[in-house]
Amino acid sequence: MLPKWFNDWNEKNPTNVFGPGIIVGVVGGAVFVAAMIVAWGQPFATTSLQTGPRGTGMSVPEFKSDLLTPDPTIEEYYTDTPIVPEGGEPLAKDIYDNVQVLGDLTEDNFNRVMLAITQWVSPEQGCAYCHGDGDLETYGEDNLYTKVVSRRMIQMTQVINEEWDGHVNANAQVGVNCSTCHRGQNVPSEIWFKNTPVKDTNMAGWGAVQNRATSTSGSTSLPSDHLEKLLVEYGQINVHDLESRVAGSPADEGYQTWQNTERTYALMNYFSNSLGVNCNFCHNSRAFYDTAQVTPQWATASLGIAMVQELNNEYLIPLRDTYPEERLGPVHADAPKAACATCHKGYQKPYQGMNAIADWPELATTGVPVYE
């Protein structure tokens, strides 16, 4: 019943009975794996995202399996269709007390937006999270810090969509709403506070802000004050110099030290982890320093940096005295601040590019919303 070649081989090699079995097993296994790949598809198949001009090889590989895996928070995203005004309806500011934002909305759309904000920010606590446990007559009061903060956050959201269109709608209309950051949580994930010094010893000087891995520095030993220096204090984001030795002293005004370089590297690590991309998403690997050879995403990211700097300084940090003590930073008692990961959550685009303002024109402008 066995093949002739098999019997002949055994007669000539009576002591080696495993050789043919191994050969048959390897060949059979290879055939089986090939059949499974054809039938079920390549489990590690990749595609390529072009990031630069054609013919330059500037691209980023992406696993198809990752692209097909949806952001798990999308399933819980709440939305509702706008109610197009017919004209002449009474406005929220004329019906309710102390309506300082969204007052130009009709009553139906005002309540629709309020319900959405509740679902996005406080689905468990409901309206009481901002308005307290009183009846409707008390909803105009500003007794809770959550309401004061929410009002400012609505204004911030409108400004992002209106004034930072070049970042949030760079390739397609995406925009942001409250859920972009909150995802059903009272406090958004990926906010940050000042955490320096992070030293384990009595080391002084530069060692006091580095050498201990933190999540904000991408779990590296790079400095942990980079978000503070670069996304709040408008520090210059660049490397020390392309030359190994540069005349000058850190005491000289405008002199870029190697500490600044390390902060830049820490920020770049943070960017990569926040968006789930690598360096070549924005930079040309042959000339990281040359802004004439960067990708279009570099310009979008640059706008994002400027946007975050404004949001932190104009909207978030000024709320410091509004928050209760337990909402402030554990080291410096500072206000919570935002950065790239606060919106992106590890994806190139928040909510994987879902249009967050399609049903919410009220949050897309500081003026009267346009309903289509």
The response to whether 156 counts as a known ligand-binding position is no
Q: Which residues pair with 49 in a beta bridge?
A: 60
Does a structural domain hold residue 331?
yes
Per-residue pLDDT at 246 exceeds 90: no
The response to whether 240 counts as a known ligand-binding position is no
Per-residue pLDDT at 240 exceeds 80: no
pLDDT the model gives residue 83: 94
Q: Which of 121-135, 209-223, 280-294, 346-360 has the lowest mean pLDDT?
A: 209-223
The response to whether 307 counts as a known ligand-binding position is no
Does a structural domain hold residue 38?
no
Does a structural domain hold residue 300?
yes
Sign of CA dihedral 240, 244, 245, 246: negative
Does a structural domain hold residue 101?
no
pLDDT the model gives residue 37: 66
pLDDT the model gives residue 43: 62
Per-residue pLDDT at 351 exceeds 80: yes
Q: Which tens digits make up the pLDDT trace of 53-106? A: 777 777 777 777 777 778 899 999 999 999 999 988 999 999 999 999 999 999
Does a structural domain hold residue 367?
no
The response to whether 283 counts as a known ligand-binding position is yes
Higher-scoring residue by pLDDT: 41, 118: 118
Six token digits for residue 82? 């706008």
Higher-scoring residue by pLDDT: 131, 37: 131
Tell me if residue 208 falls in helix, strand or coil: helix
Does a structural domain hold residue 220?
yes
Does a structural domain hold residue 208?
yes
Per-residue pLDDT at 1 exceeds 70: no
Per-residue pLDDT at 266 exceeds 90: yes
* Number of neighbouring beta carbons within 10 Å of residue 299: 15
CA neighbor of 193 nearest in space, from 148, 227, 230, 142: 227
CATH at 307 = 1.10.468.10
What is the overall mean pLDDT for the chain?
88
Does a structural domain hold residue 232?
yes
How many structural domains compose the chain?
A: 1
The response to whether 131 counts as a known ligand-binding position is yes
pLDDT the model gives residue 200: 63
The response to whether 178 counts as a known ligand-binding position is yes
pLDDT the model gives residue 175: 96
- Domain span including residue 194: 59-76+190-344
Per-residue pLDDT at 281 exceeds 80: yes
The response to whether 182 counts as a known ligand-binding position is yes
Strands (E), the chain: 46-50, 59-63
